Structure 1
């Protein structure tokens, strides 16, 4: 599986071994992690990915990705799918950044390229949610093209729909 690239970021698809390190919060030689990475959300996402690997096999490319800065390769957060698409071509996403990386547009940039990848891969719907008080995460999803479709006392629910796959000039993989 190839990395997904943006102007400033590398979305690196984690292998099960990399996910084990993230889930444990224990970097190996060569891992470049920003202070605060992995956060609890990153560790939870890595555990979710590992559970999917154990139950149904490696779901990549619909697994967990590290968000790394292109400039120096430092991991600043995570983004990914909560599992392989369902029979209708739907997936759910999640993401997070270390505090010092927030406010720079990195989450929106990462989500946009992940959405482009999902669409090019035949996904028809991507779902996400954010806590009611997490205005920044809500902004990330709307900036990336997702729309608010429902809410309850705890969460706001977002989604984006497509009729089918599309080619994207903006999608860069390596």
Structure 2
């Protein structure tokens, strides 16, 4: 699968080999890491990706992505789907950035691109959650088009639903 490119970012789909290297703290060839990368969440996402690959094969395009800045190629975070879509066409998404780049709109830009990708592949729902106190993540999901759909004592739940597949996105040249 090819990289997803946005105005300021490259979302690089991670292979199992790249995910394994990340869990060992080894940057891949021809790329660098921003200070603080990978975070514990990035390592956990890479491990989840490896488990999915082992159980089901590579879930591309519904796997893990490394978020890289276009201007210098450095990895600044990760995002991706927790598993392949369920039988109803639903995915769960997660994301995170290193502290030094937060507050610049990168997470929203990356999440919008991933939501567009999911929609283009006929996914009918993408959901995510965040702690009550993580207002930055709540703002990211809302800015990317997700809406608050529920909460419990610990988490707030967000989702975006599309009643009809949007195959016309791919016919028009992709996201």
Q: Provide the TM-score with structure 1 as the length reference.
A: 0.95
Q: Decide whether the 8 Å contact of 1:129 with 1:156 is kept in 2.
A: yes
Cα distance per residue 1:1-27 (max 9 Å; x no partner): 011111000000001111011122222
User: Which aligned runs of 4 or more in structure 1 are off by greater than 6 angstroms?
Assistant: none
Q: Decide whether the 8 Å contact of 1:119 with 1:164 is kept in 2.
A: no
**Alignment partners' CA distance in 2, 1:118 and 1:29:** 28
Within-5 A mapping of 1:35-50 = 35-50=35-50
Tell me the equivalent position of 1:53: 53
Within-5 A mapping of 1:1-174 = 1-166=1-166, 167-168=168-169, 171-172=174-175
**Alignment partners' CA distance in 2, 1:14 and 1:79:** 10
Unaligned runs of 5+ in 1: none
Higher RCO by CA contacts (8 Å cutoff, separation 6 or greater): 1
Question: Tell me, what secondary structure is at the counterpart of 1:77?
Answer: strand
Give the superposition deviation at 1:116: 0.4
**Alignment partners' CA distance in 2, 1:42 and 1:76:** 10
Give the superposition deviation at 1:153: 1.2
CA RMSD of aligned residues (A): 1.3
Q: Decide whether the 8 Å contact of 2:18 with 2:28 is kept in 1.
A: no
Give the superposition deviation at 1:29: 4.3
**Alignment partners' CA distance in 1, 2:65 and 2:143:** 20
Cα distance per residue 1:109-154 (max 9 Å; x no partner): 0000100000000100001001110000000000000000111111
Q: Decide whether the 8 Å contact of 1:113 with 1:171 is kept in 2.
A: no
Cα distance per residue 1:19-60 (max 9 Å; x no partner): 011122222443310011000000000000000011111111
Distance 1:86 1:5, change over 3 A: same
Unaligned runs of 5+ in 2: none
Question: Tell me, what secondary structure is at the counterpart of 1:61?
Answer: coil
Q: How many residues align?
A: 172
